[in-house]
């Protein structure tokens, strides 16, 4: 019985590694009008725009926070959230964004609404779990590691830049946290070779991203700093790769 259990786990592990390593090198975006239909497209390994998409009601918006003094007064790097909300770009560490998301209550909504849908993508995706963080304003480049990563806006408008692995060799060696629109020739001598596509996200729309893509975003002009939610849906392989990559990049 024990041997059979290890054999099953080994087979599942091989399947996870096989699917995780697959990546699409072309710029192709799929679009659908429901999260249920989107989960059926995840196997294509392309970014998916979902509109209309489920969204948390009255969570992680400025009007929501006005009614929650404890969150407004919560300090990050010695500054209250109320002050950070007015900044054009706040580069929180992933663990800081994750703790703030928990205070707000976003992970509960994710686990009740999105996670059950993502788990229906395949027979083995029942093992997935979520990791969620919130962000404020423009954000520099970050990597997708999860089986699937959801990015959506709760307030404001974001212009999201998506890069696949074809541009990796042209990026600065220290690309983490860099904003594509702010890169210079000093940082990236072959800047013109960096290819990316932009997607506009508003409340009510969502991006579902496969692993191995790099993502950054700006607040669209004439809008207050955008408030966003970044949720990774992990299996053991993607969780291990993310942890190892963060140790290396830092």
How high is the pLDDT of residue 8?
45
Across the range 74-96, mean pLDDT stands at: 95
Torsion angles phi and psi, residue 219, rounded to 5: -75, 130
Q: What domains sit in the chain, N to C, each tagged with a CATH number?
A: 25-249 (2.60.120.650)
Q: State what percent of residues in the chain have pLDDT above 90.
A: 82
* CA–CA distances in Å: residue 90 to residues 83, 140, 242: 10, 10, 22
Instruction: With cut-offs at 50, 70 and 90, classify the pLDDT of residue 227.
Output: very high
How high is the pLDDT of residue 246?
80
Residue pLDDT, tens place only, 33-54: 999 999 999 999 999 999 999 9
Instruction: With cut-offs at 50, 70 and 90, classify the pLDDT of residue 9.
Output: very low
- What is the DSSP pairing of strand 30-32 with strand 48-50? parallel
How far apart are the C-alpha atoms of 53 and 57, rounded to whole Å?
12
Please tell me what DSSP assigns to residue 69: H
Provide DSSP, 77-107.
Answer: TTEEHHHHTTSSEE---HHHHHHHHHHHTHH
How high is the pLDDT of residue 20?
54
* CA–CA distances in Å: residue 116 to residues 29, 52, 133: 23, 18, 19
Across the range 88-112, mean pLDDT stands at: 96
Note the maximum CA span of the chain: 63
How far apart are the C-alpha atoms of 232 and 82, rounded to whole Å?
26
Q: Is 197 left (phi over 0), alpha (psi -120 to 50) or beta?
A: beta
pLDDT at 7 over 70: no
pLDDT at 11 over 60: no
Residue pLDDT, tens place only, 134-171: 999 999 999 999 999 999 999 999 999 999 999 999 99
Residue pLDDT, tens place only, 170-220: 999 999 999 999 999 999 999 999 999 999 999 999 999 999 999 999 999
Greatest mean pLDDT among 2-16, 56-70, 96-110: 96-110
How high is the pLDDT of residue 57?
82
Please tell me which residue, 10 or 100, carries the higher pLDDT value.
100
* Contact between 81 and 71 (Cβ < 8 Å): yes
């Amino acid at each position: 019985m024990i041997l059979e259990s290890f054999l099953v786990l080994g087979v599942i592990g091989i399947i996870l590694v096989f699917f995780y390593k697959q990546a699409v090198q072309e710029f192709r975006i799929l679009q659908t009008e429901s999260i249920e239909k989107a989960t059926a497209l995840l196997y294509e390994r392309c970014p998916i725009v979902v509109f209309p998409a489920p969204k948390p009601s009255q969570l992680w918006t400025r009007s929501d926070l006005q009614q929650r003094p404890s969150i407004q007064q919560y300090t990050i790097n010695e500054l209250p959230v109320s002050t950070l909300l007015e900044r054009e770009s706040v580069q929180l560490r992933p663990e800081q964004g994750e703790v703030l998301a928990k205070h707000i209550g976003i992970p509960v909504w994710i686990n009740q609404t999105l996670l059950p849908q993502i788990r229906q993508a395949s027979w083995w995706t029942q093992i997935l779990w979520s990791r969620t963080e919130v962000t404020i304003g423009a954000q520099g480049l970050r990597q997708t590691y999860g089986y699937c990563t959801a990015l959506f806006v709760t307030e404001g408008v974001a212009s999201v830049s998506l890069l696949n692995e074809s541009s990796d060799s042209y990026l600065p060696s220290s690309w983490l946290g860099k904003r594509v629109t702010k890169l210079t020739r000093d940082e990236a001598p072959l800047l013109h070779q960096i290819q990316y596509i932009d997607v506009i996200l508003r409340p009510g729309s969502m991006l579902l991203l496969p692993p191995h893509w790099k993502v950054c975003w700006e607040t669209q002009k004439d809008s207050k700093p955008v408030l966003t939610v970044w949720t990774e849906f992990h299996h053991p392989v993607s969780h291990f790769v993310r942890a190892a990559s963060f140790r290396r990049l830092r």
